[in-house]
Amino acid sequence: MARQPLVARRAEELLGTAVVATSPVAGGDIATATRLRLSSGQTALMKTLPHAPEGFFEAEAAGLRWLAEVEGGVPVPEVLAAASDCVVVEWVEQSSKTPVEAAVTFGQQLAATHAAGADGWGLDHDGFIGRLPLPNKTADSWPEFYAVRRVLPYLKLARDRGSISETDAAAVEAVVGKLTGLLPDEAPARLHGDLWNGNCLWGQDLAIHVIDPAAHGGHRELDLAMLHLFGLTHLPRVMAAYDEAQPLAEGWEDRLGIHQLFPLLVHACMFGGGYGARAGAVAARYS
């Protein structure tokens, strides 16, 4: 590792310890990621973003800490420091191995995290999903929260950006009107909120660590729907272990598409119309 003076100096200000070496980390499409080797022998990851939106890194740090509160829950990297321009977290050494045992344990841990619950539907502060603002103002029910805080804001933005056709948008709106009858009544779960496979790191400690949360209190089927949308190695084993630990409501597999509307619309806003068409096709299944 070489040493990037500006990055190292900022990390030292926040951590109160010397940075011996730094190296760039590939893969991030929003923030710049840098691996730090500290004089203590610890390795850390620092994410920076010039002119970051207000509260951007603070929301990520708060989400990680909230998830970390759960004994026996999903492993998350420890937050070492957070500021308006960056966040520094414990480094997760990844492995090319994806053992079934880790998947089973992850299913059990995810069930424990969800079961830890939340104070309500939403959160006491807004967050971010990718670069997009994520409204978290609480609502009285999950169907209301999911409609007005998750689906409709991104449907509007996708329309504004020309990323969804009127036919597909109408199909999504039709599902929104039926949410109360479609979704089972459960207590708020403690959600990661952006649980796709890119945010699940298979560690050398043979555990799956989760990163980059958009945490809030919500319906647990939202996290599960995201896992199914983009896939995860040994996902059937994850789900079997989850269901054994915290049995799911009947018909959960048939409802996955409802909770996939949110990430599909977010992707339509960020990446274009192909995802808008997918959202419309998914919504049409519930017409």
Q: Which active-site residues does the annotation give?
A: 194
Contact at 8 Å (CB) between 189 and 219?
A: yes
Closest CA to 33 of 58, 11, 55: 11
Site of tokens 């190695």: 233
One-letter identity of residue 196? W
Question: H or E stretch including 39?
Answer: none
| Cβ neighbours of residue 54 closer than 8 Å, sequence gap 6 or more | 84
Residue 144 dihedral angles phi and psi, to the nearest 5°: -65, -50
d(CA 219, CA 184): 9
3-state secondary structure of 178: coil
Which two structure tokens, joined as six digits, stand for 217? 């209190």
Closest CA to 47 of 91, 104, 97: 91
Which two structure tokens, joined as six digits, stand for 24? 């760039």
Residue 46 dihedral angles phi and psi, to the nearest 5°: -115, 130
